[in-house]
A = this chain, B = another copy of it.
């Protein structure tokens, strides 16, 4: 009532904000659905938790980037969001922004590999075997769950989600071959 509607003058949007904004733009309209869809699409390169989604939606709504409409299913409250003109503009200029942030990888298993010289030959092999197994699992999930969904897009639908999925899948495939090679080399070294 007393709040200037578009408001958000000095509002700093994070990549997580744009993830939410982009999801709403793709037609994923509720907080719960955004989290569910993110889990099978963007989780590999930008993980989010459900606890981030709701405050972020409110923030974007307060800033005028989204509109909120109450649409209860039965007696259960539910909020449905739509992107505004302002939201589209913000998303567009983020997508065109040229400042490139570095990739950030965090992998405890790779850290273990780095220090693996402290292990016996047998334990080294076991460590690499665990790395391979985890990677194989990730690859499987990618190929079976994520890629097919991303590729099952109606004509005229978005096609970059499938590009991103294929990239991840191919990276996992490459890592799989690489780690197999490493295993073989270690086995060979053991015998000599």
**Chain A: residues with CB nearer than 8 A to chain B?**
15, 18-19, 22, 25-26, 41-42, 44-47, 88, 91-92, 94-96, 98, 100-119, 123, 126-127, 130, 133-134, 138, 158-161, 163-164, 167, 170-171, 174-175, 178, 182
Residues A106 and B108 in contact, CB atoms below 8 Å apart = no
| 18 additional contacts (CB under 8 A) given A102-B138, A104-B106, A106-B106 | A22-B111, A45-B107, A45-B114, A46-B108, A46-B111, A47-B104, A88-B118, A92-B119, A95-B115, A95-B127, A96-B127, A100-B133, A105-B106, A110-B164, A117-B159, A167-B178, A167-B182, A171-B174
Residues A116 and B95 in contact, CB atoms below 8 Å apart = yes
- The DSSP consensus for interface residues of chain A is helix
A110 proximity list for chain B (CB < 8 A): 45-46, 103, 164, 167
Residues A106 and B45 in contact, CB atoms below 8 Å apart = yes
A175 proximity list for chain B (CB < 8 A): 167, 171
- Distance (whole angstroms) from the CB of A183 to the closest CB of chain B: 12
A117 proximity list for chain B (CB < 8 A): 158-160
Residues A106 and B46 in contact, CB atoms below 8 Å apart = yes
- Selected contact of A123 from candidates B96, B107, B116, B178, CB within 8 Å: B96
- Selected contact of A98 from candidates B96, B108, B130, CB within 8 Å: B130
